[in-house]
Chains A and B, each alone.
Chain A
Amino acid sequence: MYQYDAIDQQLVDERVAQFRDQTRRYLNDELSEQDFLPLRLQNGLYVQRYAPMLRIAIPYGMLSSDQLRTLADISRRYDRAYGHFSTRQNLQLNWPKLEDVPDILAELAKVQMHAVQTSGNCIRNTTTDQYAGVIADEVVDPRPYCELIRQWSTFHPEFAFLPRKFKIAVNATESADRAATQVHDIGLHIKKNEAGDIGFKVIVGGGLGRTPMVGVTINEFLPREDLLTYLDAIIRVYNQQGRRDNKYKARIKILVKALGIEEFRKRVDAEWVHLRGKESTVPMSEFERLQGFFTEPAYQALENNPASLTSKLAESAGFARWYERNTFEHKKPGYRIVTLTLKKAGQAPGDATSDQMEKAATLADQFSFGELRVSHEQNLVLSDVRQDQLVDVWEAAKEAGFATPTLGLLTDMICCPGGDFCALANAKSIPIAEQIQQTFDNLDYLYDLGNIDLNISGCMNACGHHHVGNIGILGVDKKGQEFYQVSIGGASGHDASIGKILGPSFAQEEISDVIQKLMDVYVSNRTDEERFIDTYRRVGITPFKEAAYAKAN
């Protein structure tokens, strides 16, 4: 993974010193609440319902075991010994003290980490596929490009006070879009053209929140050397022309929609003419330098399906289940990608205790070259596990509560912190996740239902991606009572779509029952091949709606 040199290190160190000074001036009343607010946000610090919340960047999801140990240590010393892995490959601490934050940032800087631009109206942490670099069918490894974007966006002097936040996600494979790129402000799909040159399909104006939208293509093939000048052009147009009068209309999606993609493209091109080919054009040497950090670890020459694996698969149904759901094909024979799920019943989706973080770090050291990834679905990933060590990993993962074999299934939910932590919430979301986990605890049934994305947000800001869940649950406030609106038909992959609302909202205790009814409609309508989303797309919303609102008789 990327290693800081003296330059990168100096920059984060100077940032820590700057924030320490800002915090000191704020606490001494030399800096007003109002002025401090965007400064702390650009360092990941929110003030939430009960305490500040600190969001630590995990750039494009890559984490070394030492970094994870530091996160464990920080959450133990400065928080309540747990953290929340978010859908944006960040880690959130829910209970740090404001005056401790400079020290926390200093600890992070020691292991080449930071909280730079994890919130605020600036370019946020760039995200990508958690399987980057270890799957067979990607065009190229997206991580060097993510690092390029990270450096370009870090302290970009022109774009620190945009109309609204700005999120970029990168995908490098046709077979799946695990980074939900089409619902980002900019989605980049790495492509090779006929001549074999690497470039990007550029998608702009996607986003969730109050006005969910799937992005539109602005450029079919942008040569990779032009990436930064083109991003500069897009964001410069947005910075000047995006709406600033209403924060709910300030995202780039609103500008793109208002102008239409043709006009927006024209304006970007008019800007780009002046930038293209200039100093920010990326030279080959920089691509090579960055690629040099993402070389293959010392893989051994191994065979697929060693006897120790196949025999265990035959004798243990539990192991076979976990293998089928929670591991994924690796590009190298004899290796497998393992997801350590953070979806144990009774634990908020995406939460990990300090102990769990340490255990995951140890597993990474023992079995996966000391590296991990954080996924958009709020899980951890060991990317390079030998197949003949899978049984050991499974045993250890079970013990640490990482082996709930439900990856991709109904109970592998995305869920925002909601009313338990978040000041903006209309309703709690974690108890809904718990209720669903408790109700749908029969693994055979879950397997039979197959892949279903269920996403929960506590308000229309949509941090839990409910719009793009096959089933989406949204907390709403009905005369001071917490209610939940259910939508179906959303998707976040290459077939991205925004879900449709089923109808009037439900009380908290009705949710599992409603989900059950939706499942019944699916099971009785599906063909052998169909996933939930396919059946929905074929039969439409009506049968689901009828079932959900049918009076019990």
Chain B
Amino acid sequence: MPKLIKNGEIVDNLYTWQQDSESAATETSIVPMSKWLAEQNTIGPVAGIWIDAGEGVESLTDIDLTQFAVIGINFPAFVDGRGFSYARLLRERLGYKGEIRALGSFIADQLGYLLRVGFNGFQFGEEVDLEKALALHKSFSIAYQGDVNEPRPMFLRR
């Protein structure tokens, strides 16, 4: 079974990242957000949805997100940083508590920042050695700014 890093451990990947909008969704699919929004009354239970860069999170404002075990965020290129804001907004503004999974072209050296904005699942491409990636699964021990894990900036804790 394919693996991923979740909550700091290498675990089995129970879900399928469904990248196209055509195939039928199952209880283990992570389906495109646009598909789910269009078909929400008929689509039935899914594991979750995924957001592509450029889509934003605004259209999720009035959706009950507790029905999703996972929300994926795609990085079309690792230098495309839109997903960092999306994850943070999902956590801080929309109060989402489930797994936020990084999908696509992010790299292990970004884990420190990804963790701080609320990601806790990392589905790397097949070529990535997850043991090695795990070694980078940490932020610096100190941060100046507040973040999803510690909203108080350093100046409130100094």
Contacts known (A274-B93, A278-B151, A279-B152); A158 close to B144, Cβ less than 8 A: no
Contact mask for chain A residues 118-144; partner B; CB cutoff 8 A; 1 contact, 0 none: 000100000000000000000000000
Question: What's the tally of chain B residues with a CB closer than 8 Å to chain A?
Answer: 36
Q: Which residues of A contact B147 (CB under 8 A)?
A: 157
**Does chain B have a CB within 8 A of A436?**
no
Q: Which residues of B contact A121 (CB under 8 A)?
A: 79, 81
Q: A151-B155, A279-B153, A283-B155 are in contact. List 14 more A-B contacts (CB 8 A).
A: A11-B140, A38-B78, A121-B81, A152-B145, A152-B153, A155-B113, A157-B145, A161-B78, A161-B81, A161-B110, A239-B82, A244-B53, A244-B80, A289-B155
Contact mask for chain B residues 86-98; partner A; CB cutoff 8 A; 1 contact, 0 none: 1010000100000
From residue 109 to 145 of chain B, which have CB atoms closer than 8 A to chain A? 109-110, 112-113, 116-117, 132, 139-145
Q: How far is the CA of A357 from the CA of B112 in the complex (A)?
A: 37
| A-B contact list, 6 entries, CB within 8 Å | A11-B144, A152-B144, A157-B145, A158-B81, A236-B85, A279-B156
Q: Which residues of B contact A244 (CB under 8 A)?
A: 53, 80, 82
Chain B nearest CB, measured from A120 CB (Å): 9
Q: Which residues of B contact A159 (CB under 8 A)?
A: 81, 84
**Does chain B have a CB within 8 A of A156?**
yes
Q: Name the CB-closest residue of A to B116.
A: A157
Contact mask for chain A residues 1-27; partner B; CB cutoff 8 A; 1 contact, 0 none: 000010100110011001000100000
**Does chain B have a CB within 8 A of A112?**
no
User: Among B110, B140, B152, which residue has the most Cβ atoms of chain A within 10 A?
Assistant: B140
**Does chain B have a CB within 8 A of A174?**
no
Is A289's CB under 8 angstroms from B153's CB?
no
Q: Which residues of A contact B144 (CB under 8 A)?
A: 11, 151-152, 154-155
Chain B nearest CB, measured from A9 CB (Å): 10
Is A160's CB under 8 angstroms from B84's CB?
yes
Q: Which residues of A contact B37 (CB under 8 A)?
A: none
**Does chain A have a CB within 8 A of B154?**
yes
**Does chain B have a CB within 8 A of A29?**
no
Q: Which residues of B contact A (CB under 8 A)?
A: 53, 56, 78-82, 84-86, 88, 93, 107, 109-110, 112-113, 116-117, 132, 139-147, 151-156, 158
Contact mask for chain A residues 150-184; partner B; CB cutoff 8 A; 1 contact, 0 none: 01101111111110000000000000000000000
From residue 244 to 258 of chain A, which have CB atoms closer than 8 A to chain B? 244
Q: How far is the CA of A282 from the CA of B155 in the complex (A)?
A: 8
Q: Which residues of A contact B85 (CB under 8 A)?
A: 158, 236, 239-240
Question: What's the tally of chain A residues with a CB closer than 8 Å to chain B?
Answer: 39
Is A10's CB under 8 angstroms from B141's CB?
yes
**Does chain B have a CB within 8 A of A280?**
yes
Q: Name the CB-closest residue of B to A290.
A: B155
Which of A15, A35, A161, A289 contacts B140 (CB under 8 A)? Answer: A15
Chain A nearest CB, measured from B156 CB (Å): 7
Q: Which residues of B contact A10 (CB under 8 A)?
A: 141-142
Chain B nearest CB, measured from A405 CB (Å): 42
Chain B nearest CB, measured from A477 CB (Å): 28
Contacts known (A158-B88, A161-B80); A280 close to B146, Cβ less than 8 A: yes
Q: Which residues of B contact A157 (CB under 8 A)?
A: 84, 112-113, 116-117, 139, 143, 145, 147
Chain A nearest CB, measured from B102 CB (Å): 13
Chain A nearest CB, measured from B69 CB (Å): 24
From residue 385 to 413 of chain A, which have CB atoms closer than 8 A to chain B? none
Is B143's CB under 8 angstroms from A155's CB?
yes
Chain B nearest CB, measured from A167 CB (Å): 17
Chain A nearest CB, measured from B111 CB (Å): 11
Which of A7, A152, A282 contacts B158 (CB under 8 A)? Answer: A7
Is B82's CB under 8 angstroms from A158's CB?
no
Chain B nearest CB, measured from A461 CB (Å): 19
Chain A nearest CB, measured from B110 CB (Å): 8
Is A239's CB under 8 angstroms from B153's CB?
no
Is B82's CB under 8 angstroms from A280's CB?
no
**Does chain B have a CB within 8 A of A546?**
no
**Does chain B have a CB within 8 A of A514?**
no
Chain A nearest CB, measured from B123 CB (Å): 17
